[in-house]
Structure 1
Amino acid sequence: MFTGIVQAYVSVAAIIEKPGLITFSLIFPDELRVGLQTGASVAVDGVCFTTLKVEHNQVSFDAMQETLQRTTIGLLKTGQFVNVERSFKIGDEVGGHLLSGHVHGMAEITSIDTSIPNNQVVTFKIPHPLTKYIFTKGFVALNGVSLTLVEVDKQNATFRVYFIPETLKRTTFGYKQVGDWVNIEIDSQTQAIVETVERILAEKDLNSTA
């Protein structure tokens, strides 16, 4: 489990392509490597990975074909930055919201507005089937960052997020541009509620026509 509070953004040191997967290595700062062992879970741009190897300042992971096709990990390039978060430990402060690291899809940045002082307003477009889980003042994780939604437009499958300077400084969103893609994980509680209500309504309709 993760909290959506990114601990650092780090660079991609190497990418090795293999049949059906890639092995990629990230340069971790000293404080993030403390206690990190093979088999530990780490969120990379919001995607949960199992640590493959820790060697000097580099940490390696395997990404299978399914992950490469469904997330931005398939777009990784050497030298680019990614957000990372070590897994949540009992007793840690939860500053964001609980995440699984299981991405539901990708969202495209369609506009970036910097006209408001000390704010950066970013518009994201998502796959239309995910719009039923998106609500104004609700929250999602974008590239592993827990964020609050504003100005949701379900018809056009878009929403906006206001980024404060601290978030831009501590995450890769300070580097993002229009046309970039990010991973989106919807809130699991919201998903459960929406799908439960849908099922109940569907059962009522079925019973009424029986």
Structure 2
Amino acid sequence: MFTGIIEEVGNVLSIHRSNSGAIISVGCNHVLSGVKDGDSIAVNGVCLTVTRHDSAGFQADISNESLRVTSLGQLKSGDGVNVERAMAATGRFDGHMVAGHVDTTAQIMDISRDGNSWKFRLRLHQPECIRYFIERGSASIDGVSLTVFDVDTATASFTFNLIPHSQSLTTLTTKKSGDVVNIECDLVAKYIERLLGFGTSGATPASQGGVSMELLRQHGFM
């Protein structure tokens, strides 16, 4: 489990692809403190398992599924990446619950200045995921916990602002219109949808008809 509070911007030392997936080496410093092989580190929001590490960085395997669903396959040597260690049980929960399991990607449609922040407008590549977005809700964008607004279901698009603190500590300021970022939707929303889909009888979502307005009313959500 992660929080979406980026600890460090690392850099891709190498990424080697094969038919079985890819192996990535990430140069970093701070996140190596206390790390051991087998630990989880999120790279641009994707939970990866450390297979090797030394004083210069760590190495991890990337499955073909992760290459298909995320933007990790577009990385090249020298690229900056957002990295975060798994949250310690005794740590502060400063962001929101992030599993490191990317749901889809999104394309940056527009970037503009908004006071001392940068405003990003994104469109999801899987439009159905927009149902997990609410006004002033949270989403993980390339691993960064951010508040979304101007959610448009019809176009599967939304906006977020990047404040100065996040500008200095993440890779998002290096992005430009047309770039692709990883998106993890709100974990709680996905679990609620799944549980409501089964109804009170324990029947499958298909036999219950999934989530409906009437079902939400029955369970006190409206």
* TM-score > 0.5, shorter chain as reference: yes
Q: Using a 3 Å threshold, how does the CA distance of structure 1 residues 13 and 203 change in structure 2: closer, same or farther?
A: closer
Tell me the amino acid that sits aligned with residue 19 of structure 2. P
2:215 counterpart residue number:
none
Listed as ranges, the matches of 1:1-210 within 5 Å are 1-29=1-29, 31-114=30-113, 116-126=114-124, 127-198=126-197, 200=199, 202=209
CA-atom RMSD in angstroms = 1.6
Tell me the amino acid that sits aligned with residue 173 of structure 1. L
Gaps of 5+ in 2: 200-207, 213-222
Contact 2:148 2:158 in 1 (8 A): yes
Quick one: distance in 1 between partners of 2:196 and 2:136?
A: 20
Quick one: distance in 1 between partners of 2:33 and 2:162?
A: 30
Tell me the amino acid that sits aligned with residue 187 of structure 1. D
Quick one: distance in 1 between partners of 2:108 and 2:210?
A: 38
Quick one: distance in 2 between partners of 1:186 and 1:83?
A: 18
Quick one: distance in 2 between partners of 1:191 and 1:156?
A: 20
Count of equivalent residues: 203
Q: Offset at 1:58?
A: 2.2
Q: Using a 3 Å threshold, how does the CA distance of structure 1 residues 49 and 203 change in structure 2: closer, same or farther?
A: closer
- Using the aligned pairs only, state the percent identity: 31
Q: Offset at 1:22?
A: 1.1
Secondary structure at 2:10's aligned position in 1?
strand
Deviation readout 1:26-58 (Å, 9 max, x if unpaired): 1111x3211111100000000000001002302
Q: Offset at 1:157?
A: 0.6
Q: Offset at 1:195?
A: 3.6
Q: Using a 3 Å threshold, how does the CA distance of structure 1 residues 131 and 14 change in structure 2: closer, same or farther?
A: same
Q: Using a 3 Å threshold, how does the CA distance of structure 1 residues 63 and 203 change in structure 2: closer, same or farther?
A: closer
> Quick check: 146-155 or 16-25, which moved more?
16-25
Secondary structure at 2:108's aligned position in 1?
strand
Tell me the amino acid that sits aligned with residue 181 of structure 1. V
Q: Using a 3 Å threshold, how does the CA distance of structure 1 residues 204 and 23 change in structure 2: closer, same or farther?
A: closer
> Quick check: 162-171 or 188-197, which moved more?
188-197
Q: Offset at 1:72?
A: 0.7
Tell me the amino acid that sits aligned with residue 100 of structure 1. A
Q: Offset at 1:150?
A: 0.7
Q: Offset at 1:132?
A: 1.0
Secondary structure at 1:15's aligned position in 2?
strand
Q: Using a 3 Å threshold, how does the CA distance of structure 1 residues 204 and 41 change in structure 2: closer, same or farther?
A: closer
Give the alignment's TM-score, normalised by structure 1.
Answer: 0.92
Q: Using a 3 Å threshold, how does the CA distance of structure 1 residues 155 and 52 change in structure 2: closer, same or farther?
A: same
